[in-house]
Structure 1
Amino acid sequence: MKKKLLMVVLGAMISGIVCAQDYKVSKSSGTLDIREVNDVSVEGYDGNEIIFSARGNDRSSDERAQGLRAVSSLGLEDNTGLGLSVVDKGQVIEVRQLKKMGGPDVTIKVPKGVKVFYSHNSPHGSEVQFRNVEGEIEVSTVHSGVRLTNVTGPMEVKTVHGGIEAVLGAALKNPVSIQSVHGHVDVALPVTTKANLKLASSHGEILVDPDFKIEIERTGDLVRYSDKVNGKINGGGINITLSASHDNVYLRKMK
């Protein structure tokens, strides 16, 4: 019994070591260019390295793959051991996934001074997440949803078929643009945020927490309520654009 228990513990320890494998790039500025990585979370932190970790790289259990390196038709190589190609080109760090479908569950920790660009066009991805990122963010997806938590921007986030969920803090940087064509846009802000708002939905509704007192732009003595609402909250400030062409826009206050 003790022998079996020891084997279980050793197996768990070995599994933990494999899962904890990291790949690091010494970089605290420049652009992190992530393309076609299916399952990724980007987290900001205080540091001077970009740190990659991954789970679900099933090649580690393939005995025939031992000593070999994965390559793709694009000339990419898995130089990280995580199922990723990471290439340092000076001011740009290029990140690509080798497997078209599936692939590892990737977490990337980025220093404050790093700009993040994420692009995903295939139907094989899942929701991309950004947490505590203080640098500039640019996101473009076709099928994947986007989740933003405590990011400051500036940010430009676009998706075609995915929904966008965002909880944004008070230290936002200008500008903020969050747009979906066929999915919803749901954004929470502190009620004290000073902003110039542009809200739009061609075939959905614009729903705003009543605690946001929007100073609607007027034309003479008239106020026009339609599929577009332009106005200010708390006297105006940073530019915030929220748009969902075929779904609803939700602007709610942070709890």
Structure 2
Amino acid sequence: MKNKKIITGIVLLLIAGCVQAQEFKVAKNSGRLELYVGKVTVEGYDGNEIIFSSKDGGKDRDERAEGLRSVNSLGLSDNTGLGINVTDKGNVVEVRQLKKTNAPNIRVQVPKGVIVSFTHESQYGGEAVFKNLTNEIEVSAQYNSIELDNVTGPLTVKTIYGHVEATFSSTIKDPISIVSVYGYVDVTLPQATKADLKLSTSYGEIFVAPEFDIKIEATGGMVHYSDKVVGKINGGGINIDLACNYGKVYLRKK
């Protein structure tokens, strides 16, 4: 009986592994990737294909739908087996989810030459993560929180109800524009970054690491500002614009 349970467990693990390993690939190393999905993790890599896979592990698999394909009112079908439709339009690859709610959690590996665009308006979303990207990034979201880890820019990010956290690599390309209306903006830069800064908030506060000397007196562990700061760090250079309406802006040193 015990051996039977062990064997059953191994089989289930193998099945789960097969589900997780499912991939859909598009041969593309230039152009634009346009993502119209609720949750996604986008990772840069050295390759010539855009690779899609699921982070859900098949947890929402519908056994009654075996042998059928998902369709929606836009006339799109799940042509990947991952709960999304991927359409190659030449210079643009469009990705759309099939379900309005309970969006699939998709992982996308992207070659360095592809511009990444993320757009999502519905409240049925989640976090959008962008990692290890030297690509240009464009984000326009309503409810999504945005995480950017080891990115270079250029990037334009705006979210209304979510927050934005960003950590930049040692090489940064401008322009950099990050806006959250109701959330916070928390950005980490290498200490040696040469930049022209615009930091603003309508009803929040601005905090800057004391290592970034913007010629305003420090009052503690971080320098505390309000309203708007325009200045240079390390003599100026790339353009960095960080803004909130109702949240706080944090600028940290790496």
Give the TM bin, normalised by the shorter chain.
over 0.9
- SS at 2:5's partner residue? helix
Once the two structures are TM-superposed, the CA of residue 59 in structure 1 deviates from its matched residue by: 6.3
**Count of matched residue positions in the alignment of Structure 1 and Structure 2:** 244
Q: Is the 8 A contact 1:215 1:233 kept in 2?
A: no
- Residue in 1 aligned with 2:34? 33
1:63-83, Cα deviation, whole Å (9 max, x unpaired): x31221110001111000000
Q: CA–CA distance in 2 between the matches of 1:191 and 1:55?
A: 34
Q: CA–CA distance in 2 between the matches of 1:59 and 1:160?
A: 29
* TM-score, normalised with respect to structure 2: 0.92
1:191 and 2:191 aligned? yes
**Which runs of 5 or more residues in structure 2 are unaligned?**
217-224
- Residue in 2 aligned with 1:107? 107
Once the two structures are TM-superposed, the CA of residue 214 in structure 1 deviates from its matched residue by: 1.5
1:2 and 2:3 aligned? yes
- Residue in 2 aligned with 1:17? 18
- Residue in 2 aligned with 1:158? 158
Superposed counterparts of 1:61-210, under 5 Å = 61-62=62-63, 64-210=64-210
Once the two structures are TM-superposed, the CA of residue 104 in structure 1 deviates from its matched residue by: 1.7
Q: CA–CA distance in 2 between the matches of 1:212 and 1:66?
A: 57
1:214-239, Cα deviation, whole Å (9 max, x unpaired): 258xxxxxxxx751111111111100
1:40-89, Cα deviation, whole Å (9 max, x unpaired): 11111111110000143556441x31221110001111000000000000
Q: Is the 8 A contact 2:35 2:119 kept in 1?
A: yes
1:82-127, Cα deviation, whole Å (9 max, x unpaired): 0000000000000000000003211001011110000010001111
* TM-score, normalised with respect to structure 1: 0.92
Q: Is the 8 A contact 2:40 2:107 kept in 1?
A: yes
TM-aligned CA distance change 1:209 to 1:245, over 3 Å: same
Q: Which amino acid aligns with 1:194?
A: K
1:211 and 2:211 aligned? yes
Q: CA–CA distance in 2 between the matches of 1:176 and 1:29?
A: 21
- Residue in 2 aligned with 1:219? none
Identity of aligned residues (%): 55
Q: Is the 8 A contact 2:116 2:135 kept in 1?
A: yes
- Cα RMSD of the aligned pairs, angstroms, is 1.4
Q: CA–CA distance in 2 between the matches of 1:208 and 1:55?
A: 35
Q: Which amino acid aligns with 2:100?
A: K
Q: CA–CA distance in 1 between the matches of 2:215 and 2:92?
A: 42
Q: Which amino acid aligns with 1:29?
A: S
Q: Which amino acid aligns with 2:83?
A: G
Q: Is the 8 A contact 1:19 1:54 kept in 2?
A: yes
Q: CA–CA distance in 1 between the matches of 2:59 and 2:90?
A: 31
